[in-house]
A and B are shown apart, each in its own frame.
Chain A
Amino acid sequence: MSLDSPKEHAIELVGIDKKFGTVHANKNINLTVAKGSIHGIIGENGAGKSTLMSILYGFYQADHGEIRISGKPVTIRDSQAAIAAGIGMVHQHFMLVENFTVLENVMLGAEGGQLLAKGVASARKELKRLEDDYGLEVDPDAVIEELPVGSQQRVEILKALYRGADILILDEPTGVLTPPEADHLFKVLRVLRDQGKTIILITHKLREIMAITDTVSVMRRGEMVATRKTAETTVEELAELMVGRRVLLRVEKGAANPGGVLMSVRNLTVKDSRGVTMVDDVSFDVRAGEIVGIAGVAGNGQSELLEAIAGIRKPSSGEIFIDGKPVAGVDPAGLRDLGLAHIPEDRHHMGLVLKFEEYENSILGYHRDPRYGRGPLLDLEAMRKDAEEKIGKYDIRPPNPRLRTANFSGGNQQKIVVAREIERDPKMLIIGQPTRGVDIGAIEFIHKRIIEMRDASKAVLLVSVELDEIRSLSDRILVMFAGKIVGEKSGEAGEQTLGLMMAGIAA
């Protein structure tokens, strides 16, 4: 296979340029993807990966530049045109109709006529063929919302193949998968490649790039900064290319020096609004000077557990103790007074009011503190001074307390929340997804702060769906599956062991 003959190029992007207002999302991007290969595109949030792929899939039009498919220039005005050009996309948030069956979802947009009856039989047959060819087994009559996430993703892939896609774009495909599910996905992708399909994998996980891709391109701030053969590069080189400077991938921390128990949870059961038991009879302790990590695939009760401890969700039974005092039923303000700080999982919905200015968010929840005003009035001057101090200490950019919070990047928004909670010097810190949607540079910073909290003899409870994060920060790891804690491991536990526990296979 010669890389130089244009016929062997599944995709060529030449000089793609895209601006959104003042944001230059893609700067003169050139990219060549060889037919029958798995090509990774890696970069931080906001590096322009998604924009580039959206242009390829017809969601946006490039301002300049040319797209060539198999050497031929094409114009992709909408998704219909992309599908016609043989491009299929598996979105990060699945584009599935949840109360439809697998078959209905696959047929949507390719029904084969005005009446459904005719198309159903042939779609069923075609699905069976795809299943046999690529090992993508799914029951065509199953309703999507009843399928596990891994199967839903297979439906997305089937949708693309059903429409005759030769080029498959996967956007952050493993974010919602358990490690075994991710392995299964990779197996499917290899089969697809070996049958001649071209695959573009967008991710921010370096490990995945190394595990599955043939070539990898790195994007940074809207530019394509490098393309490497995966076999000829290293994780360290890629990380440096992504960030533009050397980064520490693994947090350095000394041994933990745990003291007395600060927080204990006993037989806690929490139900969600539909009455489904999300946390099922959970008990554990967190001691001063240790980080306890809760690992698990999203949706196994970690969020509800965190909310119950933070006083946002009322547990249906069980007890939570802080310093030996029962606190179930105490509201979040009361818990804060007891020395509990909470960095919520979702900064947009819980941690921040995006329309507020930065300094307003930096005291949110602590507005009754006499430092920030007396009686019903706020002391804006004191608030701004306080915000400026935090901005300096946490290197929040741009350093402007009067800027609307929505205008900060994800990493800087997260730093605003982290600064607000940690600078109160709490005794206990509970954190959900500390680095979701945060760039590598800020991840390093936030991780360091968390370790510092531990070293200052605070009790830290960490919930994250990023197994790497749990493993590099935690002194003890609890694994949650289907609402229960299925086991406890030390911070050194292997990824394989934890992965199996997260999938509910081993304890």
Chain B
Amino acid sequence: MDYFDIFISILGSAVRLSIPLLFTALAGLFSERAGIFDIGLEGKMLASAFAAACVAYWTGNAWFGLLGGISVSIVFSFVHGFASITNRGNQIVSGVALNFVAAGLTIVLGQAWFRQGGRTGQVPPEGRFSSIVLPGADMMRDVPIIGPLYANVISGNNVLTYIAFLMVPISWWVLYRTRFGLRLRAVGENPGAVDTAGISVAWMRYRSLIVAGFLCGFAGTYLSIAQSAAFINNMSAGKGYIALAALIFAKWKPVPVMLACLLFGFLDAFANFMQGKSLPLIGEVPVQIFQALPYILTCVLLAGFIGTARPPKAGGVPYTKER
């Protein structure tokens, strides 16, 4: 296999690995731009992965699975909202609590329902999102450079992948071109301005969390019934936190969020590829080093190598009417 083929295969895998990050980071974008820190993205993703796998297993329909994943994720959003908006609790604490609930509940329910040590049953093929071959992929395959790129990276993904990339311009449009987006951005910067303009701060923030729950439901669904065929214990494996890092790295803007997620996906794919390979001069490098790369990069980036990342000003602060 020559280097170009290797590159194409890493790239294809990078796209697949970045999809759950992209959905989750966009979810975080909506809640954090509205001033609600959402550390519970990880838990939402895990819970929706579990729900999607269960529903898809029982109904044998991937779209029902997606619906299940989204519903559970939105329920989690409501709990987060009730704790941190209605009751003005600490948003970090509420988010961490949700992560614990998701981690524990998926195992307990999974064991009770399927008795496979926390796994769900194997989802039948029609209950999964399988890859779609775009028209002309086979014909294009032999065209140099563009051909393999089209056939192996752009074509051959499942429908959720295309939805994920479609969500980027849609998110941008919603945030910057609609009334909802204007109010959402305002409520994350100065909720007082929104309140005095006669708009309900709480309802705006709830709505942003519903959008976040909706997007995060796609991420979980992708994990369990697009990328795999069952739910496995803790299958989100910290992706929610990586997505948050990507969000900060991207300074809370939709298009940079996509690029950041692709970068993290690429690092992940690269780590997989380097497994068991030896480097010239150095010899075989423990695979853990490559697996750690995204996390190390995140630390380095967050330590301030991306310039000043200015978070939404009212982020993390419960709104109290005060005069």
- A residues with a Cβ closer than 8 A to B are 50-51, 54, 57, 59-60, 78-83, 89, 91, 93, 95-100, 104-105, 107-111, 113-117, 159
Majority-rule SS of B interface residues: helix
Report if B130 contacts A (CB, 8 A): no
Whether A83 touches B193, Cβ cut-off 8 Å, given contacts A100-B186, A114-B178, A117-B177, is no
Contacting residues, chain B, for A115 (C-beta < 8 A): 177-179
A-B contact count (CB 8 A): 74
Interface centre among A51, A79, A108 (most CB of B within 10 A): A108
Report if B180 contacts A (CB, 8 A): yes
Contacting residues, chain A, for B181 (C-beta < 8 A): 116
Which residues in chain B, 75-133, are within 8 Å of chain A measured between CB atoms?
none
Report the nearest A residue to B176, measured CB to CB: A116
Which residues in chain B, 188-215, are within 8 Å of chain A measured between CB atoms?
189-190, 192-199
Bound CA span A54–B196, Å: 11
Contacting residues, chain A, for B198 (C-beta < 8 A): 78-83, 109
Bound CA span A114–B192, Å: 22
Bound CA span A460–B39, Å: 50
Bound CA span A59–B321, Å: 8
Contacting residues, chain B, for A57 (C-beta < 8 A): 196
Contacting residues, chain B, for A111 (C-beta < 8 A): 179, 182
Contacting residues, chain A, for B193 (C-beta < 8 A): 95-97, 105, 108
Bound CA span A95–B322, Å: 12
Report the nearest A residue to B192, measured CB to CB: A95
Bound CA span A174–B231, Å: 62
Contacting residues, chain B, for A83 (C-beta < 8 A): 197-198
Bound CA span A113–B183, Å: 12
Contacting residues, chain A, for B44 (C-beta < 8 A): none
Bound CA span A228–B183, Å: 43
Bound CA span A100–B194, Å: 13
Report if B239 contacts A (CB, 8 A): no
Which residues in chain B, 266-323, are within 8 Å of chain A measured between CB atoms?
313, 321, 323
Report if B16 contacts A (CB, 8 A): no
Residues B197 and A79 in contact, CB atoms below 8 Å apart: yes
Task: State which of B178, B180, B182, B321 has its C-beta within 8 Å of the C-beta of A108.
Answer: B182
Task: State which of A50, A78, A97, A107 has its C-beta within 8 Å of the C-beta of B189.
Answer: A97
* 13 other A-B residue contacts (CB within 8 Å) besides A97-B185, A110-B197: A54-B323, A57-B196, A79-B195, A81-B198, A95-B190, A95-B195, A95-B197, A97-B190, A98-B190, A100-B185, A108-B182, A109-B198, A117-B177
Residues A116 and B323 in contact, CB atoms below 8 Å apart: no
Separation in Å of the B315 CB from the closest CB of chain A? 13
Residues A108 and B186 in contact, CB atoms below 8 Å apart: yes
Closest 3 CB pairs of A and B: A109-B197, A80-B198, A95-B193
Whether A108 touches B197, Cβ cut-off 8 Å, given contacts A98-B189, A98-B190, is yes
Separation in Å of the A58 CB from the closest CB of chain B? 8
Report the nearest B residue to A105, measured CB to CB: B193
Contacting residues, chain B, for A60 (C-beta < 8 A): 323
Separation in Å of the B191 CB from the closest CB of chain A? 9
Residues A91 and B189 in contact, CB atoms below 8 Å apart: no
Separation in Å of the B259 CB from the closest CB of chain A? 22
Residues A51 and B194 in contact, CB atoms below 8 Å apart: no
- List 8 A–B pairs whose Cβ atoms lie within 8 Å, in order of A's numbering: A57-B196, A59-B321, A80-B199, A82-B198, A115-B177, A116-B178, A116-B181, A159-B197
Residues B177 and A116 in contact, CB atoms below 8 Å apart: yes
Bound CA span A78–B200, Å: 10
Contacting residues, chain A, for B190 (C-beta < 8 A): 95-98
Report the nearest A residue to B189, measured CB to CB: A97
Separation in Å of the A240 CB from the closest CB of chain B? 28
Bound CA span A283–B196, Å: 44
Separation in Å of the A54 CB from the closest CB of chain B? 5
Bound CA span A59–B192, Å: 11
Against A, the Cβ 8 Å flags (1 = close, 0 = not) of B137-171 are 00000000000000000000000000000000000
Separation in Å of the A46 CB from the closest CB of chain B? 12
Whether A109 touches B194, Cβ cut-off 8 Å, given contacts A50-B323, A97-B189, is yes
Separation in Å of the B176 CB from the closest CB of chain A? 8
Separation in Å of the B208 CB from the closest CB of chain A? 15
Task: State which of B182, B194, B196, B321 has its C-beta within 8 Å of the C-beta of A104.
Answer: B182
Bound CA span A108–B195, Å: 10
Bound CA span A96–B196, Å: 10
Report the nearest A residue to B177, measured CB to CB: A116
Residues A98 and B313 in contact, CB atoms below 8 Å apart: yes
Report the nearest A residue to B198, measured CB to CB: A80
Residues B186 and A97 in contact, CB atoms below 8 Å apart: yes
Separation in Å of the B82 CB from the closest CB of chain A? 22
Separation in Å of the B154 CB from the closest CB of chain A? 31
Contacting residues, chain A, for B179 (C-beta < 8 A): 111, 113-116
Separation in Å of the B277 CB from the closest CB of chain A? 45
Report the nearest A residue to B312, measured CB to CB: A99
Whether A95 touches B196, Cβ cut-off 8 Å, given contacts A51-B323, A59-B321, A100-B186, is yes
